[in-house]
Amino acid sequence: MTWREWTAEDSAEWIVPPSPEDDKYSRGVLGVITGSNDYPGAAVLGVEAAWRAGVGMVRYNGPRPVRSAVLAQRPETVTVAGRVQGWLVGSGIDPRRRSFVLQGDLQHALASRVPVVLDAGGLDLVGTHTAPTVITPHSRELANLLTAREVEVSVAEVRTDPAAWAARAARELGVVVLLKGAVTRIVDPDRDAYVVTAPTHWLATAGSGDILGGILGALVATNHVALAADATVLTKLAATAAWMHGEAARRASDAAGRGPIVALDIAARLPGVIGSLLAR
């Protein structure tokens, strides 16, 4: 199996700039079910990243206090249910504490035949999906997910051979797997496989993964036409999200004299990254 390093040139193909005929809906609407009273920040970060990654609209659904936090950061967000072209589900949700209402909303999203990004507390929903799906675990989450599906593996084993375990998970679960780390692996059940090597280790900061989810959600929504024609595009969108995430973090850190960054700094750099990709 060959793992190819995903590049800026590859990523540029998946940026969809708005055309004169576009409106906010045709550009792609992302539905987001993330965050909880315990982790409101995850919702704020993912929604912010999706907006900054160029989505036409974000529809956010979550607990009332979390909705308020999302709107305080990004009043452009719509909190009324409606049609979406992609879903981002699970960041900042504790899978052991999902309410009856949340469970229903998650099932509705997974049954809607719209492509899904499954993160963190939504990972266990894999298998109930009805459209192309990408999961975004870190090593511990991947080990837990596989073990729950009777493929016994420890976190240490995943860390020793992340490529093999990511590929195994893609095959077993029938989804694209984006396994996060200093080197992020992206692989699908057909063995299309890419790596993205992080250009800065300052990326390892709380909420950084929530930002990645927002970027990937935005790419899924804005590429809805290509995805509907060819589901295998999802693997390339996932690799592009990881690349943009790393590049935005690099720019943020460089602007701070190569110093530390916080997760929102990554989101703030996304428009510049997208502009540079379009200028290639």
Ligand X SMILES: NC(=O)C1=CN([C@@H]2O[C@H](COP(=O)(O)OP(=O)(O)OC[C@H]3O[C@@H](n4cnc5c(N)ncnc54)[C@H](OP(=O)(O)O)[C@@H]3O)[C@@H](O)[C@H]2O)[C@@H](O)CC1
- Residues making up the annotated binding site are 42, 92, 138, 180-184, 209-210
Long-range contacts of 200-204 (CB under 8 A, 24+ apart): 200/246, 200/249, 200/250, 200/253, 200/258, 200/261, 202/249, 202/252, 202/253, 202/259, 202/260, 202/261, 203/245, 203/246, 203/249, 203/261, 203/266
Query: Which residue from 252, 266, 210, 254 is spatially nearest to 62, judged by alpha carbons?
Result: 210
Positions in 74-93 near ligand X (CB under 6 A): 91-93
> Taking CB under 6 A as the rule, which mask of x and - marks residues 15-54 in contact with ligand ADP?
----------------------------------------
Please identify, using beta-carbon distances, which residue of 78 and 163 lies nearer to ligand ADP. 163
Please say whether the beta carbons of 210 and 92 come within 8 A.
yes
Q: Which partner, ligand ADP, ligand X, none, binds residue 265 by CB below 5 to 8 Å per kind?
A: none
Using the rule CB under 6 A, is 136 a contact of ligand X?
A: no
Distance in angstroms (rounded) separating the CA atoms of residues 148 and 58? 32
Distance in angstroms (rounded) separating the CA atoms of residues 133 and 121? 15
Please identify, using beta-carbon distances, which residue of 183 and 228 lies nearer to ligand ADP. 183
Using the rule CB under 6 A, is 117 a contact of ligand ADP?
A: no
Distance in angstroms (rounded) separating the CA atoms of residues 108 and 217? 17
Positions in 184-243 near ligand ADP (CB under 6 A): 184, 198, 201, 203-204, 206-210, 212
Using the rule CB under 6 A, is 214 a contact of ligand X?
A: no
Q: Which of 182, 204, 206, 256 binds ligand X (CB under 6 A)?
A: 206
CA angle at residue 201 from 196 to 205, to 5 degrees? Answer: 105
Query: Which residue from 31, 238, 50, 33 is spatially nearest to 121, judged by alpha carbons?
Result: 33
- As annotated, the binding site for (6S)-NADPHX includes 42, 92, 138, 210
Please identify, using beta-carbon distances, which residue of 77 and 136 lies nearer to ligand ADP. 136
List the structure tokens of 230. 């060819």
Stretch that binds ligand X, among 70-78, 146-154, 185-193, 206-214 (CB under 6 A): 206-214
Distance in angstroms (rounded) separating the CA atoms of residues 86 and 226? 13
Using the rule CB under 6 A, is 179 a contact of ligand ADP?
A: no
Residues lying near ligand X in the complex (CB under 6 A) are found at 39, 41-42, 91-93, 120-121, 138, 140-141, 206-207, 209-210
Residues lying near ligand ADP in the complex (CB under 6 A) are found at 138, 180-182, 184, 198, 201, 203-204, 206-210, 212, 245
